[in-house]
Amino acid sequence: MIPKEVFNRRHFGTPEVVSLIVINYLVTVIDIQAFAMCTTIKWHFWLVLVLLGAYNFYRIRRNPEEFDRKTLIAYGISWILLLAVFFLLRTKAQPC
């Protein structure tokens, strides 16, 4: 039989900031590969980034109790690293 303690354990799931950072990286890398790998950046790239920013704003405003000062600093650092990823991938841009 299963011990009773197994059912009393709490699982809080993945923190909201971690899932938001992962979503940001996945969407941005796919967006860069699809619309910004030529020498010119297509307008679709900027549209996807605006929609991603709106989604981030919505998620942060929806769960303000989960985004304290430490998590917002980590979130800001992730955006700085995401900007570095953008420039790293753009250095390999080829003329289309």
Give the pLDDT score at 2: 66
Are the C-beta atoms of residues 24 and 76 closer than 8 Å to each other? no
CA gap 82, 78 in Å, rounded: 6
Average pLDDT rounded to a whole number, residues 79-88? 90
Residue 44 has pLDDT above 70, yes or no: yes
CA gap 68, 70 in Å, rounded: 6
The pLDDT > 90 percentage for the chain reads: 44
Coil/strand/helix, residue 27: helix
CA gap 30, 35 in Å, rounded: 9
Domain ranges of the chain: 14-90
- The DSSP output letter for 61 is H
Copy the structure tokens of residue 32.
């860069």
Average pLDDT rounded to a whole number, residues 21-48? 90
Which one has a higher pLDDT value, 66 or 50?
A: 50
Residue from 11, 7, 21 nearest 59 by CA: 21
Average pLDDT rounded to a whole number, residues 16-22? 90
Which one has a higher pLDDT value, 27 or 3?
A: 27
Are the C-beta atoms of residues 96 and 39 closer than 8 Å to each other? yes
